[in-house]
Amino acid sequence: MEGFFSVFTVELLNSGIRLATPILLAALGGALCNQAGVLNLALESKMLLGAFVGILAAFYLGNSYVGLLVAMAAGGLLGLLFAFLYHKYKVDLVILAIAFNLIIVELTVFVMRALFGNVGSWSDPSIVRIPDIQIPILHDIPFIGPILSGYNIIVYFSWLVTIAMFIFLYKMRGGRHLRAVGENKSAAETVGINAVLLQTLALVISGALAGLGGAFLSIGHLKLFTRNMSNGRGWIAIAAAMFGVNHPIGVFLASLFFGFADAFSVRIQNVTDLPPNLVKLLPNVATLLVLIIIALRSKIALSMARRRFRSQLRADEAARPAETSL
Amino acid sequence: MTQNRLLKLLDTIMVPVLAMISGLIVMGILIILIKKPLFESYAILFSTGFGCEKYGNCIFITALERATPLIFTGLSAVVAFRSGMFSIGQEGQYLVGAVAAAWLGYVIHLPPILHPLLLMLAAMLAGAAYGWIPGILRVKLGVNELLATIMLNSIAALVTEHLVQFPMRADKSTTAHSPVIDKTAYLTSFVPGSNWGMGFVIAVIAVIVVLLYLWRTKAGYEQRMAGQSKLFALYGGIPSDKSAIRAMLISGALAGLAGAVEVMGVHHRIMTGFSTGLGFDGLTAAILGQIHPIGVFIVAILFSGLKLGAQLGLQLQLEIPRELGGTIIGFIILFVAAGKLYEDSIVRVRNWFARRNSHSLKG
């Protein structure tokens, strides 16, 4: 028993939270888009773009924090381009996402090789990794301190975004309008809500968040860029947004789940001698299972609603003879 | 009548052709940005990718060889899309098929002709089974098939990697690979020194079969109707769920066949890094080929030529990173998706055609 639990350490929690961060940032953006009724399947490409542009900016401008901002701007711009193509030319968002995935995967390597020669991955000693910050008082609390403190600014920022998005969506007028657009676009437009603007806003913010999530990989967690560095995290983020029913808190918990699945598979590789390729399956299998759970959940909700409707119908019918007899 | 058909054909190919031209313009911009000679690049790209230096050293034949699995995965995507299933699981199904073929290739010993047939059948069954999973999940539970197939792709890639490195590994060489399959299971090649051979013939047969299936059989009609409008199909009494499952089975079988042909005709074994994004390329070939078997056939050859031209021409001769080829293909897909960009020019060309025809009638 003890041997099994030796896997669960504070370090595992720490790395779980770290690995959850890029997924969380992208998934929050995805959830915002889903709430606004635009399908954002291109999180993967925005993440990869953020990872690449972030480390480039950190290198050329000599400041990793500036790199983060540039990564966000790049992701946001790509989101703006999506919104433009979607609203102006009615481009199919699924095909658009597939096209951009291919373009960004190849273009980032193309630019990397054009700039730095024929390399598979690139790093430079002058690049500074975003430093970890200990939160003064929180850090000294036993047990909770080491779990909640000691991450870099992106991790804390992702928590802030979770709270901010919750407040925006459920406590503010703009958020209510955004959800109304997602619920029924033409109805929202009839009452004077600018649906195009809100959907554009959602795509831009989601792009910026995914870009930041990507930059977390290249200058926050590691200190290098490799081909296809996001490695499917953008797709997992889409599943996380669905798993968390597009609610910021739900998305937060779902992302933590995927982060821990990731950290767990890394940890198991170090502790046991299970074949590494099979252990790496864990996050993918978890995602597939989650997709099935999501589907089952909505199916059950549908059948419950149907049953409620039927019993309501039966109750009405039972009431009617009583009325006629009066 | 013929004139109408011509106009219809023009309408279909107009957007892909314009998208290709736009993609090549983007390529020019990228080449100017990295300060390489522009016109020389175009010349080298096409002369290498689609050219022949001398008999036996023909890169175009290599392009046809590379196009072979792409045609299968492209057809696989066509069958799935036409039934309304947005499956991008070709990569996983291709790997499953390849593993099945490679394993049976050295485990079972059979006479020629029978051996390749058995391998192809096994690969098709394996691919179909792997395609059935997202199909049944979609139909019975409503699981998003796009996300499900993405996850199944990475699962297949990791499991294949494991199989090649441990249970199926032939020897302790630096790059893990499985034992070579029996000579009886090889697909013959047409040109000595290249692997362009029977696989290509099978691909052409597959194009014709898919074409006939989708447009000349009842099952194919049901499938296309279910893909175009699920509600309409239901009104017409077409079981759209059944046709979706059937589509996923066929789509999986085609992608699995791609794996078998690649094993039997080219590598004769399976090794680390066997998946090179062929499934994804097939998907893009399907989109650019207007989700039509003949379109897929043409685009697959064009893609392979472009990639080879970028790899062997641009990278080796001009030191332009070969990722340029993939980037251009991505941009071409983008331009196809944004087909409305070209609407004005299409209308103009149509008018020009109409005017010319009316002139010739008067004359």
Mean pLDDT comparison of A142-151, B14-23, B33-42, B75-84, highest-scoring range: B75-84
On whether residue B27 sits in a domain, the answer given is no
On whether residue B352 sits in a domain, the answer given is no
What pLDDT does residue A266 have?
84
Scanning chain A, the segments in alpha helix (DSSP H) are 2-5, 10-36, 43-61, 64-89, 93-116, 136-140, 144-148, 153-171, 173-183, 185-190, 195-215, 233-243, 248-271, 276-279, 281-325
* Widest distance between CA atoms in chain A: 91
Residue B247 corresponds to which amino acid? A
The verdict on a CB contact (< 8 Å) between B330 and A294 is no
What pLDDT does residue B222 have?
85
Q: How confident is the model at residue B125 (pLDDT cuts 50, 70, 90)?
A: very high
pLDDT of A98-157, one tens digit each? 889 889 999 999 999 999 987 888 988 888 888 888 888 777 787 777 888 889 999 999
On whether residue B137 sits in a domain, the answer given is yes
What pLDDT does residue A1 have?
41
Q: Does B204 or A40 have the greater pLDDT score? A: B204
Q: How confident is the model at residue B363 (pLDDT cuts 50, 70, 90)?
A: very low
Q: What is the CATH number of the domain that holds B196?
A: 1.10.3470
Residue B177 per-residue DSSP state:
B
The verdict on a CB contact (< 8 Å) between A102 and B333 is yes
The verdict on a CB contact (< 8 Å) between B155 and A284 is yes
pLDDT of A290-311, one tens digit each? 889 988 988 888 888 888 988 8
On whether residue B304 sits in a domain, the answer given is yes
Of the candidates B306, B307, B279, B284, the residue with the CA atom closest to the CA atom of residue B295: B284
Nearest CA in chain B to A242: B144
pLDDT of B142-184, one tens digit each? 888 888 998 899 899 999 989 988 888 887 777 788 889 988 8
Q: How confident is the model at residue A322 (pLDDT cuts 50, 70, 90)?
A: low
- Contact of A92 with B326, CB cutoff 8 Å: no
pLDDT of A166-183, one tens digit each? 999 999 999 999 999 999
Q: How many CB pairs under 8 A join A and B?
A: 124
Would an 8 Å CB–CB cutoff place A282 in contact with chain B?
Answer: no
What pLDDT does residue B1 have?
54
Of the candidates A51, A38, A26, the residue with the CA atom closest to the CA atom of residue A96: A38
On whether residue B152 sits in a domain, the answer given is yes
Looking at the 3D structure of chain B, how many domains does it have?
Answer: 1
Q: How confident is the model at residue B12 (pLDDT cuts 50, 70, 90)?
A: confident
What pLDDT does residue B326 have?
87
Residue B227, token pair as written in the block = 């893909």
Q: d(Cα A256, Cα A246) in Å, to the nearest integer?
A: 15
What pLDDT does residue A188 have?
92
On whether residue B269 sits in a domain, the answer given is yes
Q: Which helix (H) or strand (E) holds B52?
A: strand B52-54
Q: What residues contact B17, with CB distance under 8 A and at least 6 apart? A: none
Mean pLDDT of chain B: 87
The verdict on a CB contact (< 8 Å) between A103 and B88 is no
Give the distance from residue B228's alpha carbon to the nearest chain A alpha carbon, in angstroms: 15
Give the distance from residue A61's alpha carbon to the nearest chain B alpha carbon, in angstroms: 21
Question: B319-325 long-range CB contacts below 8 Å, 24 or more apart?
Answer: B319/B36, B320/A114, B320/B31, B320/B34, B320/B36, B320/B41, B321/A109, B321/A110, B321/A113, B321/A114, B321/A118, B323/A106, B323/A107, B323/A109, B323/A110, B323/A113, B324/A106, B324/A110, B324/B27, B324/B30, B324/B31, B325/A106
Please state, as a whole number, how many other Cβ atoms lie within 10 Å of the Cβ of residue B208: 12
Mean pLDDT of chain A: 89
What pLDDT does residue A198 have?
94
Q: Domain range for residue B205?
A: 37-52+60-319
Would an 8 Å CB–CB cutoff place B290 in contact with chain A?
Answer: no
On whether residue B12 sits in a domain, the answer given is no
Of the candidates B99, B77, B104, the residue with the CA atom closest to the CA atom of residue B333: B77
